[in-house]
Structure 1
Amino acid sequence: MSLLVDKVCVVNGAASTIGRAVADRFAREGAFVIGVDKDDHTVGNHTVRADLTDESQVQAMYDDVVDRYGRLDVIYNNMGLMDRGDQSVLDTSLQTWRTVHDANLTSIFLSCKHGIPHLLNTEPSGGSVINSASFLAAVGSATAPMAYAAAKAGVVQLTRDLGVHLARSKVRVNAVLFGPIETPDQRAVFDRNPGALEKRLVHWPMGRFGTLEEASGTIAFLASDDSGFITATAVPLDGGITEAFTVPE
């Protein structure tokens, strides 16, 4: 059985590797996919170019989707940005802090603000919102990009509050705590720092990256009615990293 037959799904941040993988998985599960990104792209049955940190563009995008297709069922917010200037708070500029928070938290706030009303107005009302977060929101790290980690923690709290607030409306809101997923960008981070991957693998219980298939499958499940009793939570997609004290040698 396909999980998302006849559902209209918006994938924000669709031009990224994970965004594209999720859009493809949604389509294979029977969804009609609207891919949204600030860059030119070809993801989805219908493509939109919009700056997801600009409120007027976000509102116009959702209004246009519902005007065209008559309903909205799923929103996947895949927004995220890591900045090389984002390090310890002691060494991070205010501009970097604001840029990282706009990209990772404000964009999701705007998507929820202007997308969720359409979920509520679709007949029958309800649907699923999935927000991209990070395992860094659940742990303390001496080496974390601190603006990014704080923004993703904000995404988790926003998700928790919205999930509880909307629970009786049949709109579910969940987050995914991403760990290391195998993408070219993720690999490049380690390639720039020889030996860094070996040091990190010591702390990864499974000792490997997650796959795009595992990531997109988890998000498709959260988008579907099969996860109908799950809301207001952050699902770890991290191979056990946030639960580990020691790992096998």
Structure 2
Amino acid sequence: MFGSMGGRVAERLADKVCMVNGAASLIGRAVADRFAREGAVVVGVDKLAHSVGEQVVHADLTDESAVEAMYREVVRDHGRLDVIYNNVGLMDRGDRSVLEMSLQTWRNAQEANLTSIFLACKHGIPHLLATEPTGGSVINAASFLAAVGSATAPMAYAAAKAGVVQLSRDLGVHLARSGVRVNAVLFGPIETPQQREILQRDPSVLEKRLVHWPMGRFGTLDEAAGTIAFLASDDAGFITGAAIPLDGGITEAFTVPE
């Protein structure tokens, strides 16, 4: 069952060990909470101080030795690994047109948004393959900006997220017969204080953006968490190598309702 009935959520993830990388953010916390409500053993990972998950891990997701060690620790403690949700994303204030961007801003965006997911997949997927029965789900956070052109995009961020989509696509196909599924989620605007702050730095920015949003609103944390939980579950067992839009129709729209 996708969603809830009578206030209860079906335990589609019962006894599965699920890692949430980037757990300290509001979306990370919402996903971790949804995983737990669906019966999962949740491991929350972030370099920031946090208390998310049944097991709390502090690690820099761009540090290869730290990433490798954290997976070994989790599998040692729980004996298995079933789901990896890579909830990583960073926008830099200096990230604008490449004609104005510093090389360091570009490198920071690639490290935070793409290299971190590369390392999580490189060192996490072997544990999914080693879990009996072999299989599991990897969900990588991307952005609708990876699927459209934008004159005002943070271009380093968008390029990195396009890399996440392609990496997810290739891994999904590469691993398709192993039982391990890999998908990306193209996040649109999800209602968080940080997202609103980014869009409201200039008072006219949000108004301009809303013109291009078919639903005319932000997505909710519950909607985001429910989508990730679906992809983590066996209900999504025939979905792999996909880029799932979670954007209220933005990437599919040419014109929008009046």
Q: Structures share a fold, TM > 0.5?
A: yes
- Equivalence for 1:124: 133
Q: Take 1:114 and 1:34, find their aligned partners in 2: how far apart are those partners?
A: 16
From 136, 139, 144, give the equivalent of 1:135.
144
Q: How does 1:91-130 map to 2 (within 5 A)?
A: 91-130=100-139
Q: Take 2:18 and 2:68, find their aligned partners in 1: how far apart are those partners?
A: 16
Q: Residue 60 in 1 paired to residue 60 in 2?
A: no
2:90 partner letter:
L
- Equivalence for 1:233: 242
Q: Take 2:232 and 2:153, find their aligned partners in 1: how far apart are those partners?
A: 29
Q: Matched residue of 1:82: which SS?
A: coil
2:186 partner letter:
L
Q: Residue 71 in 1 paired to residue 83 in 2?
A: no
Q: Take 1:185 and 1:98, find their aligned partners in 2: how far apart are those partners?
A: 22
Q: Residue 188 in 1 paired to residue 197 in 2?
A: yes
> What is the CA distance between 1:190 and its match in structure 2?
2.4
- Equivalence for 2:91: 82
Q: Matched residue of 2:84: which SS?
A: strand
Q: How does 1:32-43 map to 2 (within 5 A)?
A: 32-43=41-52
Q: Residues 139-174 of structure 1, C-alpha deviation per residue, up to 9 Å, x if partnerless?
A: 000100000000000000000000000000000000
> What is the CA distance between 1:56 and its match in structure 2?
0.2
From 139, 145, 151, give the equivalent of 2:154.
145
1:236 partner letter:
P
- Equivalence for 2:217: 208
Q: Take 2:50 and 2:248, find their aligned partners in 1: how far apart are those partners?
A: 31
> What is the CA distance between 1:189 and its match in structure 2?
1.2
2:125 partner letter:
I
- Equivalence for 1:29: 38
Aligned length: 249
Q: Take 1:195 and 1:79, find their aligned partners in 2: how far apart are those partners?
A: 28
Q: Matched residue of 1:154: which SS?
A: helix
Q: Residues 51-86 of structure 1, C-alpha deviation per residue, up to 9 Å, x if partnerless?
A: 000000000000000001000000000011000001
Structure 1 residues not aligned, in runs of 5+: none
Q: What TM-score results when the alignment is normalised by the length of structure 2? A: 0.96
Q: Take 2:89 and 2:159, find their aligned partners in 1: how far apart are those partners?
A: 13
Q: Residues 18-75 of structure 1, C-alpha deviation per residue, up to 9 Å, x if partnerless?
A: 0000000000000000000010100000000000000000000000000010000000
- Equivalence for 1:167: 176
Structure with the bigger percentage of helix: 1
Runs of 4+ in 1 over 3 A off after TM superposition: none
Q: Take 2:206 and 2:104, find their aligned partners in 1: how far apart are those partners?
A: 29
Q: Take 1:204 and 1:31, find their aligned partners in 2: how far apart are those partners?
A: 34
* Percent identity for Structure 1 against Structure 2: 80
- Equivalence for 1:222: 231
Q: Matched residue of 1:89: which SS?
A: coil
Q: Take 1:23 and 1:87, find their aligned partners in 2: how far apart are those partners?
A: 32
> What is the CA distance between 1:198 and its match in structure 2?
1.0
Q: Take 2:104 and 2:232, find their aligned partners in 1: how far apart are those partners?
A: 35
Q: Take 1:88 and 1:234, find their aligned partners in 2: how far apart are those partners?
A: 25
CA RMSD of superposed structures (Å): 0.5
Q: Take 1:192 and 1:247, find their aligned partners in 2: how far apart are those partners?
A: 24
Q: Take 1:137 and 1:36, find their aligned partners in 2: how far apart are those partners?
A: 25
